[in-house]
Structure 1
Amino acid sequence: MCLGIPMRVLAVDGLSARCVGRGETRDVSLALMDPPPVGTWVLVHLDTARQVLTEDEARLIDQALEAVDTALAGGSVDHLFADLVDRDPELPPHLRAEGAP
């Protein structure tokens, strides 16, 4: 399984960028996208940036990855999904039956 990691661009050099995220710094290929400005958040798969992220998207993905680590260690993840706690789950509109709210 390949997970996308949100990383912030520190420096760009042609088709590669120095990025930081989740406690590590690494060189990332930019071959699949236009070189982003320094400070941009990107989603990285197998050391290759795939798309630009907003800061909020990067935060939510990082929280989800933290939840996986926490759950595997037997901890509670409710604090990482505060927007989902105490509400009923909802299907996205394209998955709802016709006429359903």
Structure 2
Amino acid sequence: MCLGVPMQILSVDGIAGWATDGQAETLIDLSLTGPLRPGDWVLTFLGAAREVIDAETAARIAAALDGLRAIMAGGDAGDAFADLDTRSPQLPPHLQAALDAGRTTA
């Protein structure tokens, strides 16, 4: 399984850049994201930025990852998933449209 890690861009040099997850600085590949500036947030997978995200999204993902780490260490997730507690599951838009149209099979 591959988990996305939110990182904040520190510096950019062409299609590479230094970024931090708050604990360590890492050189990451930026070739999939387009132009970035220091301060921008990205979601990284295996050393490559795949998506530009906002600071709020980065914080929610980081909290969820911290909650998973706590659970794996035998602890409690705390409020790491509080943003999910108050909402019901949602289908992706294309599946919701199919359901709304009365289609229940592929």
C-alpha root-mean-square deviation of aligned residues, in Å? 1.9
Question: Against the structure 1 CA distance between its residues 22 and 68, is the aligned structure 2 distance closer, same or farther, given a 3 Å change threshold?
Answer: farther
Distance 1:28 1:34 in 2: 13
Counting aligned pairs with the same residue, the percent is 34
TM-score when normalising by structure 2: 0.79
Please list, as runs of the form range in 1=range in 2, the aligned pairs for 1:68-79 lying within 5 A after superposition. Answer: 68-79=68-79
Question: Against the structure 1 CA distance between its residues 66 and 6, is the aligned structure 2 distance closer, same or farther, given a 3 Å change threshold?
Answer: same
Unaligned ranges ≥5, structure 2: 101-106
* Paired amino acid for 1:90: S
Aligned match for 1:92, one of 90, 93, 96:
90
- Cα offset, 1:35, TM superposition: 2.3
Please list, as runs of the form range in 1=range in 2, the aligned pairs for 1:1-101 lying within 5 A after superposition. Answer: 1-85=1-85, 87=86, 90-92=88-90, 94=96
- Cα offset, 1:78, TM superposition: 2.7
Distance 1:68 1:22 in 2: 17
Distance 2:14 2:20 in 1: 18
Matched positions, count: 95
Secondary structure (helix, strand or coil) at the match of 2:88 reads: coil
